[in-house]
Chains A and B, each alone.
Chain A
């Protein structure tokens, strides 16, 4: 497959949730690249993680349309509620919080994405409910 590195990294992350550094030499060997090149690609893209995330990934849209509809306040509320900053995982391993720059759901801002499902017109009450539903299922 030409240009196989990104599809390969996606496959690994889809499978185990992140791309471990241990895999770099194996990937490099398979694609005739240097380990530095693999490292360079993994770290260039926001989508790829180098550490195991929490069981649920909560992404908050920070782009303009969501800002126009109050995402700043929502972001603060979520950070306080979970007790973590962006790129952090709650101590119980339930949630990893990430910023995202546009979910393409701008007609119903503000939006969040949880485990690849988008939620629109999110307010504090709605996010509290979503978080509590996920807590009870995990």
Chain B
């Protein structure tokens, strides 16, 4: 029987040479006449160990990493296949502390299965949630999601069950499920990992959402920056349709659900739900006024559930194991787990799924291992480009939506970007305004003009021109953007700007903390 060797096919692994590693393994095995089978699995998310090569043994999978193509020969020379020792050996992968300390619910199959292989998905408990949902009335499915405490994992943290109930209760000839897969926040990659690594869990979540609210058509609005995810999703949809999990008469239940992937086109604003709906309709992604809410008048004017990838991908396990199982994880009003993405200047970056309540410090140092550069971590941005910058004094804040609100920060999509002491926070504040100016849809004045003006004012500050006056102007401008913008792009750009100013005033050339806006 051939020996199974696993080499991940996730984009990040590929970006570090996973294809070349797989090719080198294949060549070496051929030269040595070894009977091996290379399996392209998803990534465990231990990105500092990619390319993480795994070998199946009777004891479990043994890991080697990080492996570069030039390491492959030495692996074979050490006879790694027959238990030979190698300096990059990691032992049983499931026993790696970093992985063992996690609570993986949404990411339970990550790194274990092949992405677009429906048989493996089913062999690892896939579609259990859907099977349960098919035996429930729509109201009962919505009730299960409400009871689980699941809140939107895209950033706004709105209770998913309430959103679904609104769509369920709205009468219409057609309803839609739209998956917002335009994950554009820097520091986030959990959506990409799901779509590239376990696409069926998202598909299953969307079918369940369709059953729950009476929607028969779904769209995944996918970032154009994720070409691999596009291929994997389309292949997964093809397979699910072929065996009757998607399309007409799902599993002979009389229920139908159709699913299509639509490519976005590189506009950050289309991560905002109403802009995304405009874009799906084939228009410029201009933000819509709310109300009406998309749950009442959404895509093509019909009631629409708009959820993020992680929210929808979390639905199957809730339906499979019950609301209470999920609800028992977490703290306060933040229930369940959050896939946290460690990024930036850290030794050990990657995907950590943990129940709410873990602190930033634990994530940055216990998991992240401190900065990669070895210099002290000065600031951490949580929740994407519109998230606040947190100083060391706030690293003990637990991950919890309300606790973050208390310190005027956001958890957003769970992306964490660490910066060492070489960062200049005035420069980062300038970047936040600049990013807003590049990405503004232009519909409202505070965002469109405020962001450009913000760049000009920070330029004055950075050049030391009348700093006190210009700092006051930044606060005033931020206040206008916070309170006057139509959506979160303009309304949250002041978070990175003001947090940088409040916590790191020296970088702006001001000594003492000024009153907060």
Question: Is the CB–CB distance between A105 and B344 below 8 Å?
Answer: no
Question: Is the CB–CB distance between B265 and A106 below 8 Å?
Answer: no
Question: Is the CB–CB distance between A120 and B15 below 8 Å?
Answer: yes
Shortest CB distance A53–B (Å): 14
B328 contacts the other chain (CB 8 A): no
* CB contact under 8 A between A3 and B265, given known A68-B423, A107-B349: no
Pick the 7 closest A-B CB pairs, nearest first.
A63-B186, A5-B282, A45-B265, A106-B343, A47-B266, A120-B15, A68-B344
Given contacts A46-B266, A104-B223, list 19 more A-B pairs with CB under 8 A: A2-B300, A6-B263, A10-B224, A41-B284, A44-B284, A45-B265, A45-B267, A46-B265, A47-B267, A64-B417, A64-B431, A65-B186, A67-B428, A67-B431, A106-B341, A113-B225, A117-B14, A118-B11, A121-B15
Most A C-beta atoms less than 10 A away, residue of B183, B191, B343: B343
Question: Is the CB–CB distance between A107 and B189 below 8 Å?
Answer: yes
The contact string, 1 if C-beta is below 8 Å from chain B, for chain A 100-128, is 11111111110101001111110000000
Most A C-beta atoms less than 10 A away, residue of B14, B192, B225: B225
Task: List CB contacts (< 8 Å) of A64-94 with chain B.
Answer: 64-69
With a cutoff of 8 Å between Cβ atoms, the chain B residues found around residue A64 in the complex are 186-187, 344, 381, 385, 417, 428, 431
With a cutoff of 8 Å between Cβ atoms, the chain B residues found around residue A47 in the complex are 224, 264-267
Chain B residue with the shortest CB-CB distance to A100 = B225
B188 contacts the other chain (CB 8 A): yes
Task: List CB contacts (< 8 Å) of B22-73 with chain A.
Answer: 47-48, 50
Question: Is the CB–CB distance between A63 and B265 below 8 Å?
Answer: no
Task: List CB contacts (< 8 Å) of B340-359 with chain A.
Answer: 341-345, 349-351
Interchain Cβ contacts under 8 Å between A and B, 9 examples:
A3-B281, A45-B285, A101-B435, A103-B225, A106-B187, A106-B344, A117-B14, A118-B15, A120-B12
Question: Is the CB–CB distance between B15 and A108 below 8 Å?
Answer: yes
With a cutoff of 8 Å between Cβ atoms, the chain A residues found around residue B284 in the complex are 40-41, 44
* CB contact under 8 A between A105 and B12, given known A3-B282, A64-B385: yes
How many residues belonging to A are interface residues under a CB distance threshold of 8 Å?
42
Shortest CB distance A103–B (Å): 6
The contact string, 1 if C-beta is below 8 Å from chain A, for chain B 191-229, is 110000000000000000000000000000001111100
Question: Is the CB–CB distance between B186 and A101 below 8 Å?
Answer: yes
A48 contacts the other chain (CB 8 A): yes
* CB contact under 8 A between A108 and B14, given known A64-B385, A65-B344: no
With a cutoff of 8 Å between Cβ atoms, the chain B residues found around residue A121 in the complex are 15-16
Question: Is the CB–CB distance between B343 and A65 below 8 Å?
Answer: yes
With a cutoff of 8 Å between Cβ atoms, the chain B residues found around residue A104 in the complex are 11, 183, 188-189, 191-192, 223, 225-226
A9 contacts the other chain (CB 8 A): yes
Shortest CB distance A136–B (Å): 18
With a cutoff of 8 Å between Cβ atoms, the chain B residues found around residue A22 in the complex are none
* CB contact under 8 A between A106 and B263, given known A3-B281, A64-B344, A69-B345: no
Question: Is the CB–CB distance between B385 and A107 below 8 Å?
Answer: no
Question: Is the CB–CB distance between A102 and B184 below 8 Å?
Answer: yes
B185 contacts the other chain (CB 8 A): yes
Question: Is the CB–CB distance between B439 and A101 below 8 Å?
Answer: yes
B252 contacts the other chain (CB 8 A): no
Question: Is the CB–CB distance between A107 and B342 below 8 Å?
Answer: yes
Chain B interface residue number, banded = 35 or more
B303 contacts the other chain (CB 8 A): no
B418 contacts the other chain (CB 8 A): yes
With a cutoff of 8 Å between Cβ atoms, the chain A residues found around residue B187 in the complex are 63-65, 106
Cα distance A111–B344 in the bound complex, in angstroms: 11
Question: Is the CB–CB distance between A106 and B14 below 8 Å?
Answer: no
With a cutoff of 8 Å between Cβ atoms, the chain B residues found around residue A102 in the complex are 184-186, 188, 225
Task: List CB contacts (< 8 Å) of A16-42 with chain B.
Answer: 31, 37, 40-41
Question: Is the CB–CB distance between A6 and B381 below 8 Å?
Answer: no
Shortest CB distance A60–B (Å): 13
Cα distance A69–B373 in the bound complex, in angstroms: 9
B164 contacts the other chain (CB 8 A): no
Chain B residue with the shortest CB-CB distance to A64 = B186
With a cutoff of 8 Å between Cβ atoms, the chain A residues found around residue B50 in the complex are 108
The contact string, 1 if C-beta is below 8 Å from chain A, for chain B 437-464, is 0110100000000000000000000000
B419 contacts the other chain (CB 8 A): yes
With a cutoff of 8 Å between Cβ atoms, the chain A residues found around residue B341 in the complex are 106-107
Chain B residue with the shortest CB-CB distance to A43 = B284
B274 contacts the other chain (CB 8 A): no
B262 contacts the other chain (CB 8 A): yes
B279 contacts the other chain (CB 8 A): yes
* CB contact under 8 A between A48 and B225, given known A101-B435, A106-B189: no
With a cutoff of 8 Å between Cβ atoms, the chain A residues found around residue B16 in the complex are 108, 120-121
The contact string, 1 if C-beta is below 8 Å from chain A, for chain B 260-280, is 001111111000000000011
B516 contacts the other chain (CB 8 A): no
* CB contact under 8 A between A31 and B267, given known A65-B186, A119-B15: no
Cα distance A121–B47 in the bound complex, in angstroms: 11
B283 contacts the other chain (CB 8 A): yes
With a cutoff of 8 Å between Cβ atoms, the chain B residues found around residue A113 in the complex are 225
Question: Is the CB–CB distance between A3 and B280 below 8 Å?
Answer: yes
Cα distance A81–B196 in the bound complex, in angstroms: 33
Task: List CB contacts (< 8 Å) of B346-378 with chain A.
Answer: 349-351, 372
With a cutoff of 8 Å between Cβ atoms, the chain B residues found around residue A6 in the complex are 262-265, 279-280, 282
B247 contacts the other chain (CB 8 A): no
Cα distance A69–B47 in the bound complex, in angstroms: 15
* CB contact under 8 A between A7 and B262, given known A65-B186, A68-B423, A106-B341: yes
With a cutoff of 8 Å between Cβ atoms, the chain B residues found around residue A105 in the complex are 11-12, 15, 189
Chain A residue with the shortest CB-CB distance to B385 = A64
B154 contacts the other chain (CB 8 A): no
With a cutoff of 8 Å between Cβ atoms, the chain A residues found around residue B263 in the complex are 6-7, 10
With a cutoff of 8 Å between Cβ atoms, the chain A residues found around residue B439 in the complex are 101
B8 contacts the other chain (CB 8 A): no
Shortest CB distance B225–A (Å): 6
